[in-house]
């Protein structure tokens, strides 16, 4: 159980909340475990401000956002970097928490686009329509008096569950599409074409992979990352809340507050 926050500690936390500088791993831990409004923390430290990877070249972050926006036909204000590339260390609610950003780290990009969300989700559901037995044959089995089991690959089942869950939370992960899917290839070609900008930084940043996730609205993104931080606070030792914990397709977890 966390210790009560002193007045001095409260003042330090308020200074950190100004967002004038990126917090250290320990400072972020204190913020996440001491402050109840994880939506505010998600906005200030994950979705807004200049990321760690562009801290020495803030103007190049504007250029990066404009490049991504141009490729996906969205406004540059609807693009941001999250995760370890944003903070300089991993905010994952797992044993990975605090792991420093390095050359082998991925750069995670958020894109707000209702059009891409619907297009991508529709493509996923088309893909899964061909997984397992057809709906008509399943209905026939239900009507028959014989008990029959349906067999489906574990990965296919996990991908279907992840896709439905993402749709409920208003986001689309193109990584769930099969490798040869044209939309997946289009998305990854577009996002990968921005990698050269990282090499132009001083010092140069060599990234392992640039990934992206589409959200239907900013509110959906805020809720998604607020849930992740809520779980992180629990992982780091904050008192547990009456919430339903849900694992997402990236290995992170979502926490669905009970009404």
Whole-angstrom Cα distance, residue 94 to residue 111? Answer: 24
Give the residue carrying structure tokens 């070609």. 189
Q: Is residue 68 part of a domain?
A: yes
Give the residue carrying structure tokens 């008509």. 136
Predicted pLDDT of residue 7: 62
Q: Is residue 245 part of a domain?
A: yes
Q: Is residue 136 part of a domain?
A: no
Q: Is residue 67 part of a domain?
A: yes
The residue range of the domain holding 204 is 7-120+170-257
The H-or-E segment that residue 38 falls in is helix 38-41
Predicted pLDDT of residue 256: 42
Q: Is residue 101 part of a domain?
A: yes
Predicted pLDDT of residue 257: 41
Predicted pLDDT of residue 142: 66
Q: CB under 8 Å to 254, separation ≥6 — which residues?
A: 165, 169, 224, 227, 228, 231, 245, 246, 247, 248
Q: Is residue 158 part of a domain?
A: no
Whole-angstrom Cα distance, residue 187 to residue 201? Answer: 24
Question: In Å, how far are 89, 215, 239, 257 from 223, measured between CA atoms?
Answer: 21, 11, 20, 11
Complete edge-to-edge strand list for the sheet that includes strand 209-215: 79-82, 106-112, 209-215, 171-172
The tally of domains found in the chain comes to: 1
Q: What is the pLDDT along the chain (259 residues), one digit of tens a residue?
A: 445 556 666 677 777 777 678 899 999 998 998 888 899 999 999 999 999 999 888 999 999 999 999 999 999 999 999 999 999 999 999 999 999 998 778 899 999 999 999 999 999 999 988 876 666 666 666 666 566 677 778 888 888 899 999 999 999 999 999 999 999 999 999 999 988 877 777 666 767 789 999 999 999 999 999 999 999 999 988 555 544 444 555 444 344 444 3
Predicted pLDDT of residue 243: 46
Predicted pLDDT of residue 35: 84
Give the residue carrying structure tokens 């990009």. 109
* CB contact at 8 A, 117 and 170: yes
Q: Is residue 232 part of a domain?
A: yes
**pTM for the full predicted model:** 0.82
Reported residue count of the chain is: 259
Predicted pLDDT of residue 245: 46
Q: Is residue 165 part of a domain?
A: no
Predicted pLDDT of residue 258: 40
Predicted pLDDT of residue 97: 94
């Amino acid at each position: 159980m966390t210790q009560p926050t002193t007045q001095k500690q409260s003042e330090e936390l308020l200074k950190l909340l100004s967002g004038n500088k990126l917090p250290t791993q320990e400072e972020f831990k204190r913020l996440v475990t001491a402050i109840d409004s994880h939506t505010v923390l998600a906005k200030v430290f994950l979705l807004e401000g200049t990321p760690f990877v562009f801290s020495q070249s803030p103007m190049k972050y504007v250029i990066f956002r404009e490049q991504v926006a141009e490729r996906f036909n969205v406004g540059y204000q609807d693009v941001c970097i999250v995760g370890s590339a944003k903070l300089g260390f991993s905010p994952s609610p797992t044993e990975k928490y605090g792991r420093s950003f390095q050359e082998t780290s991925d750069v995670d990009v958020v894109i707000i686009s209702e059009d891409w969300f619907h297009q991508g989700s529709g493509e996923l559901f088309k893909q899964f329509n061909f997984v397992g037995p057809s709906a008509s044959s399943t209905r026939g089995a239900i009507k028959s008096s014989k008990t029959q089991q349906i067999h489906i690959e574990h990965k296919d089942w996990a991908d279907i569950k992840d896709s439905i869950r993402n749709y409920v939370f208003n986001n689309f992960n193109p990584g769930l599409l099969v490798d040869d899917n044209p939309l997946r290839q289009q998305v990854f070609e577009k996002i990968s074409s921005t990698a050269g900008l990282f090499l132009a930084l001083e010092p140069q940043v060599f990234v392992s992979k640039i990934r992206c996730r589409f959200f239907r609205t900013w509110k959906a993104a805020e809720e998604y990352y607020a849930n992740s931080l809520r779980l992180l606070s629990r992982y780091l030792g904050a008192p547990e809340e009456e919430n339903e914990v849900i694992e997402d397709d990236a290995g992170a977890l979502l926490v669905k507050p009970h009404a």
